[in-house]
Chain A
């Protein structure tokens, strides 16, 4: 369900809008890398597909029916960046043309439904695809799990945003239980449909499925009656230097934005305890609560010790928090990148792109399966 206007308060909507703008900007760059100059027509058509497939009703039982949300499906079929773009465009158009979802809540909607869903789905899908043996069946299984987790993850993200900036006073526990409970059920349906759809596409055009690119076997040439390996395509190396500098700019912009948000916007944040603390207080079950181990750390309760002005100290704590997060995140990222650089030298041409299926040994075996639907 799309979040309407007035459900999340103004400062949090603005913050979510900033997150959404950042995510779309990153995705625009990423999608150019995924699709090069074909981005506009292909992403547009995929967005139209998502828009249409959301109208395809899947009957459950006794007259009820559900429909696909499409975030996980898009991430697996066309890659995470393009998926974020497509779902964002669908949400934007739904907001502007069909008044579905509030205009001020657009940031929240894009953050939750476009970013969280696709990123979670793609991360899980990639992780599972690495662990499971390479094959069509494990791609389907990974798609199932990814879609299954992505929907409750989006519900959890919404609950988090609600906890920070919800305008109504429903207890966080109730919201979380209702949202996540309902969305686990929706997630099961989403998972089944996503896995079936990915399976159907892989059966016919495995080269189109972004998440199954590792499956395409290397091309073979038949020379004089015997198969030999085709020469590898030259890798595009010179692009990395240019992208490194632009990445740095992007990082700097993101860092400055989060510092500004943490430092200044938190001045205007509510001084009331958050929903969970409030519920705990109302119900009186925080009496026996033991103070957290870090309660006397310099940043306890989001304020810097020895600074009496609450707003100033809250802002400082926000800035320090962002700094620590960035350092920790960069350390992890750096470590992962180093590892990948060391063992990434022996990977061959992973993807060969569209138009080369004719000679690949993994030619579609199940083409007739999709025929009935194509006879329209």
Chain B
């Protein structure tokens, strides 16, 4: 609990993108992804334009390209799936490098790959430039139900604690000679999971009591009000609006 709750994807910085209020960033990323998803897949140049837009945001946010590309690796299992599509899809077939591939499947794979990658890239940029606490504040400003925001904040706050507890259990198991080799060890692992649940739940009860003793009555006090000026909104919404222009061009040209 003592350590800062910075998540692994966050990258400390003082760029103009870091300084934007969180709810404007959330809105911008969400609108951008919606625009990307509704672009026709035949307009290949539009996706290149989106990638350029994101790259310019990354440049403005001082996010090094290598850092950014490494974070994209989360997509890998899904890329494998997309690469499978041309082989299993229906419809007319075409010859590529001596393999018979489905035209529809190729288009589908391209569609899923391009849109999925852009979506992941946008989310990674958001996560890299927004602190955890800011993110929760932004969700609150976007009128997410307060209870949901509270649950999310408790999850974030205690996620590390619970994970650490699990790690200590693992060390305890291993120091007693336990080695998970196969199905026969599931019983022990499941008992650890059960113990972890009890500890988490009891910790929740203690946290609630501690909060009640400090005057908690169902809602958290708002300490720092994050407001955005018109200029900040305009700055943040430049990304989705430019993307929208590209998207409309894509629809008219194709």
Q: Which residues of A contact B (CB under 8 A)?
A: 1, 4-7, 9-10, 13, 24-25, 28, 31-32, 37-49, 51-53, 55-61, 68, 77-78, 85-86, 89-90, 92-93, 95-100, 102-104, 167-171, 174, 192-193, 196-201, 203-205, 208, 278-279, 282, 354, 369-370, 372-376
Residue pair A41, B207 in contact (C-beta under 8 Å): yes
Residue pair A53, B116 in contact (C-beta under 8 Å): no
Taking CB atoms, residues of chain B closer than 8 Å to A375 are 172
Q: Does B250 contact A (CB under 8 A)?
A: no
* A104 in contact with B90 given A99-B71, A200-B195, A208-B201 (CB within 8 Å): no
Q: Which 4 A-B pairs have the closest CB atoms?
A: A44-B154, A6-B115, A200-B194, A168-B108
Q: Does B102 contact A (CB under 8 A)?
A: yes
User: Which residue of B is nearest A166, CB measured?
Assistant: B108
Interface size on B, residues (CB 8 A): 93
Q: B197 CB to closest chain A CB, in angstroms?
A: 6
Q: A192 CB to closest chain B CB, in angstroms?
A: 6
Q: What are 8 pairs between A and B in contact, CB < 8 Å?
A: A41-B205, A45-B207, A49-B201, A167-B112, A193-B189, A196-B186, A200-B194, A376-B169
Taking CB atoms, residues of chain A closer than 8 Å to B147 are 28, 31-32, 39-40
Of the candidate stretches B51-59, B74-82, B231-239, the one touching chain A is B74-82
Q: Mark B85-109, 1 if CB is under 8 A from A, else 0.
A: 1001111000000000010110011
Residue pair B89, A170 in contact (C-beta under 8 Å): yes
- Where chain A touches its partner, the secondary structure class is helix
Residue pair B91, A169 in contact (C-beta under 8 Å): yes
A370 to B196: give the CA distance in the assembly, Å. 10
In B1-19, which residues have CB < 8 Å from any A CB? 7, 9
Residue pair B198, A44 in contact (C-beta under 8 Å): no
* A61 in contact with B182 given A45-B162, A95-B123 (CB within 8 Å): yes
User: Which residue of A is nearest B146, CB measured?
Assistant: A40
Taking CB atoms, residues of chain A closer than 8 Å to B91 are 169, 282
Q: Which of B7, B33, B41, B75 contacts A104 (CB 8 A)?
A: B33
Taking CB atoms, residues of chain A closer than 8 Å to B127 are 96-99
Taking CB atoms, residues of chain A closer than 8 Å to B197 are 46, 49, 53, 77, 197, 201, 208
Q: B117 CB to closest chain A CB, in angstroms?
A: 9
Q: Which residues of B contact A (CB under 8 A)?
A: 7, 9, 29-30, 33-34, 36-38, 41, 71, 74-75, 77-78, 81, 85, 88-91, 102, 104-105, 108-109, 111-112, 114-116, 118-120, 122-124, 126-127, 132, 135, 145, 147-148, 150-159, 161-163, 165-166, 168-169, 171-173, 176, 180-183, 185-198, 200-201, 203-205, 207-208, 211, 217-218
Total contacts A to B, CB within 8 angstroms? 283
Q: Which of A5, A41, A46, A168 contacts B211 (CB 8 A)?
A: A41
* A85 in contact with B111 given A13-B37, A102-B116, A196-B186 (CB within 8 Å): no
Residue pair B193, A57 in contact (C-beta under 8 Å): no
* A373 in contact with B116 given A197-B193, A208-B201 (CB within 8 Å): no
User: Which residue of B is nearest A65, CB measured?
Assistant: B180
A59 to B181: give the CA distance in the assembly, Å. 6
Q: B73 CB to closest chain A CB, in angstroms?
A: 10
A208 to B200: give the CA distance in the assembly, Å. 11
A196 to B188: give the CA distance in the assembly, Å. 9
Taking CB atoms, residues of chain A closer than 8 Å to B118 are 5
Q: B90 CB to closest chain A CB, in angstroms?
A: 5
Q: Which of A37, A56, A90, A93 contacts B218 (CB 8 A)?
A: A37
A370 to B119: give the CA distance in the assembly, Å. 44
A102 to B172: give the CA distance in the assembly, Å. 37
A42 to B90: give the CA distance in the assembly, Å. 49
